[in-house]
Every structure is written in C-alpha cells, then in structure tokens.
Amino acid sequence: MHHLILAGGGHAHLAVLDSFRRRPAAGVKLTLVTPHPRTTYTGMVPGVIAGQYQLAQAQIDVERLARQAGGSFVAARVTRIDAAAGAVTTEDGQRLRFDLLSLDIGSQPAEQGRIRAAVAVVKPIEEAVAAIEAQLRLWQGRNPRFGIVGGGAGGVDLAFAIARRLRTTGGQVIICDSSTRPLSGRHPNTSAQVAKALHHHRITFLGGVEVEAAEPDGLALAPGTRLKADAVVWATGAAGHALLRDSALPVDERGFLLVGDDLRSREHPQLFAAGDCATLASHPRLPKAGVYAVRQGPVLAANLRAAIAGKSLEAYRPQSETLALLNTGDGRAILSYGARTYWGRAAWWLKHRIDRRFVAAWSGARLAPD
C-alpha cells in the first residue's frame, strides 16, 4: 500500500483528486491535508467582495472530492516536512507518514516583515475575504480611505472590488506600488488600459513609491512621508511559505520549492509540487498565477500515478502566453492576452462564464442559467 499525501487544496490538486475519483488506483491510500474543507477560487474573490457573488458560489468542496476519490481528509495545516523520514507534522500535532508527498499550498505575500498593524493580507484567501469584509462593515458610511500595497493583478482586482462597495457610501482607494505602472508584469498596453479604468473609477495609483511599513494610522513611505489610511490591504508579490525553508527543502531565493519539468524534486524524489509553491528550475521566472497551476494539474496527476507504478514521468511545458481577465466591478472586465487588451462587457461575460464553469466542474453541480 502506497500512501500518497496531498498537502494543500490548490488548483493542481483538484485535477489530482478528480483523476483518482474517475480512475481509482489499487494499492494507493490517499490523504488530503488542508486547513479548509472548502477551497475558495481566487478568480471569483473580487466578485465576492464587490457583491456580485455569494462566497459559497466561489468555493469548491475539496473534502467531498477527497472522499469521492476514496481518500481521507485532514483539516489541518502542515507545519513540518521530514523528507528523509517520509513524514509530515500538522499544526494539531499529528505525524503522518507518506510514500509520496505532493505540495500545492500556494504562496504568501512578500515583505510581511513590514506589517506593524492589523491589515488584510491577501493570502490565505479565505482569511483575506473575511478581513476585507470586516473592514468594509466597520467603515460603512464613514468615507474611509483604503490603502492597497501592491499594484499587480491581485491588488488591482481588489481595488476595483472595494471601490465598487464604497461607491454608494463614499470612500477612497489608493494603490501603492514600487513600479511606475500597474500590472508591470503584463504588456504596457494592459497597464495603460488598467490605468484608464482606475482613473474612471477614481482609484489613485501611486507608482514608484516604496512602502516601508504598514502602521496603525496608514502607510510609511520612503523617504519619510506618510499616507493616512483607515484600512490596509497587503497584496505584494509572492513569496514561499516558511514551511519549505524550515523543513530544509531545496528552495529558490524567494523560498519556493525547486522542481524539475516533471514537477518532482531532484533532491527528494518522493516530493512533488505544483502551483504557486513551486519553481520550475527550467523556468525560474514563471509568474505565480493560477493559469499555470490549472495546466500543471493533469501532468501532476499522471506523474504521481507513474511514480507509484515505477514508470517514466512526463514533462510540463508552460504556455507562452496567458489570458488574464480583471473584474472592474462595474459589469465590465479587462481582457489581456499578450499585446492585445480590451475593456468591456464582453470580457466580463467571458470571465463570468469561465469562472462559474470552473467551480461548477469541480463541485459536480449543473451550471444554472444566468
């Protein structure tokens, strides 16, 4: 009997669970270890914050998926990995032994050492939703100023969502980023379109600024200036979980587990990883985005099966261009694909359909008409 532990309920592990649900493997004991029985799909979170969806519409029951795959579910976070002994330790003190361990635990926002006050940190996403909702309720009708640290897709998406909620009660949203343009990782055409949409929604983008710290009364900016804010959302770039480095696993300079094209650790062949927690040695600068994790899922599922059977593994090849769809909170979305960009209702319709179909597919639910 081979014990396969899946740590984390990310996008790639959905495909693994579905693979074992559709085609059970004899002689395999499967265990999913993740803190929440329902995974929140990040692509729909801005819509939840904006009031376009209920939180339940953006969640996938991973505990049920694990049971349907013939596995067991442990509602806990892995706090230690002993690769040599083949065991993980959870936050509640359980020690679980494994033959194969697959990690899909996501990432955490970078530079959290600069946080010196209560802020809404965008990951874990379940906690972020609750924290942002609490701030919106606290400041309802009081014309608050929200400061968002990070001008990437996550920060911009949330800025549009929060601005949508503040539209009727009043308030201000300000994005701070060290880059001079929003979404600096995408084509300049996309940045220009996003800047236009931010201006339309009266969201201020402060580019080329360094946030030294998040403090009780707002943000300390270099050199020696301050930005008053009633609430702060920390949406900086991704960093690896301390779990990986503390477990003496091979990580890159940002703390992500290094894996080969087969999504397997070279130093510890019993370890696999996908999604934001992993860095492909052959593509070290690949963005941390769900579109890659989704494509990695079927490869990960096939390779876990192959490793159990002692067969050769296949390689994952990342796509050269990725589609991005940003919800602007007003019934429109910004579509970005390479140099092509578009802001309008058709992009929102496309995003709405893609997101709802994704959640429905894993939930086993029939897609209700709009």
User: pLDDT for 75-97, tens place per residue?
Assistant: 999 999 999 999 999 999 999 99
Do 130 and 230 lie in one domain? The reply is yes
Q: Does the reported pTM lie above 0.95?
A: no
Do 135 and 60 lie in one domain? The reply is no
- The mean pLDDT value for 103-124 works out to 91
pLDDT at 370 over 90: no
pLDDT at 131 over 90: yes
- If phi > 0 it is left, if psi is from -120 to 50 it is alpha, else beta; for residue 319 that is beta
Query: Cα angle vertex 120, ends 138, 152, to 5°?
Result: 125
- DSSP-derived 3-state class of residue 70: coil
Q: So what's the pLDDT on residue 290? A: 87
149 and 176 Cβ atoms separated by less than 8 Å:
yes
- The mean pLDDT value for 168-187 works out to 94
Do 170 and 231 lie in one domain? The reply is yes
Q: Tell me, yes or no, whether 39 lies in a domain.
A: yes
Q: Tell me, yes or no, whether 76 lies in a domain.
A: yes
Do 222 and 257 lie in one domain? The reply is no
Do 48 and 103 lie in one domain? The reply is yes
- The mean pLDDT value for 196-213 works out to 97
Full residue range of the structural domain in which residue 254 is found: 2-107+240-309
Q: Average model confidence (pLDDT) for the chain? A: 94
Number of domains present in the structure of the chain = 2
Give the residue carrying structure tokens 């790639």.
Answer: 12
Which of 362 and 153 is assigned the larger pLDDT?
153
Task: Tell me how far apart the alpha carbons of residues 98 and 106 are, in angstroms, rounded to a whole number.
Answer: 20
Do 76 and 159 lie in one domain? The reply is no
pLDDT at 141 over 90: no
Share of residues in the chain with pLDDT > 90 (%): 88
- What would you report as the CA-atom Rg of the chain, rounded to the nearest whole angstrom? 21
Task: Tell me how far apart the alpha carbons of residues 203 and 74 are, in angstroms, rounded to a whole number.
Answer: 42
Query: What are the tens digits of pLDDT across the range 186-197?
Result: 999 999 999 999
Task: Tell me how far apart the alpha carbons of residues 204 and 236 are, in angstroms, rounded to a whole number.
Answer: 17
Domain of 76, CATH number, reads: 3.50.50.60
Do 94 and 121 lie in one domain? The reply is no
Last residue of some domain: 309, 327, 358? 309
pLDDT at 367 over 50: no
Q: So what's the pLDDT on residue 169? A: 82
- The mean pLDDT value for 3-26 works out to 95
Q: Tell me, yes or no, whether 357 lies in a domain.
A: no
Do 122 and 271 lie in one domain? The reply is no
Task: Tell me how far apart the alpha carbons of residues 128 and 54 are, in angstroms, rounded to a whole number.
Answer: 15
Q: Tell me, yes or no, whether 336 lies in a domain.
A: no
Q: Which helix (H) or strand (E) is 4 found in, with range?
A: strand 2-7
Do 213 and 116 lie in one domain? The reply is yes
Q: So what's the pLDDT on residue 366? A: 47
Last residue of some domain: 280, 309, 338? 309
Under the banding of pLDDT at 50, 70 and 90, the label for residue 159 is: very high
Q: So what's the pLDDT on residue 364? A: 60
Residue type present at position 31:
T
First vs last Cα of the chain: how many Å apart? Answer: 46
Do 116 and 229 lie in one domain? The reply is yes
Do 132 and 101 lie in one domain? The reply is no
Do 176 and 116 lie in one domain? The reply is yes
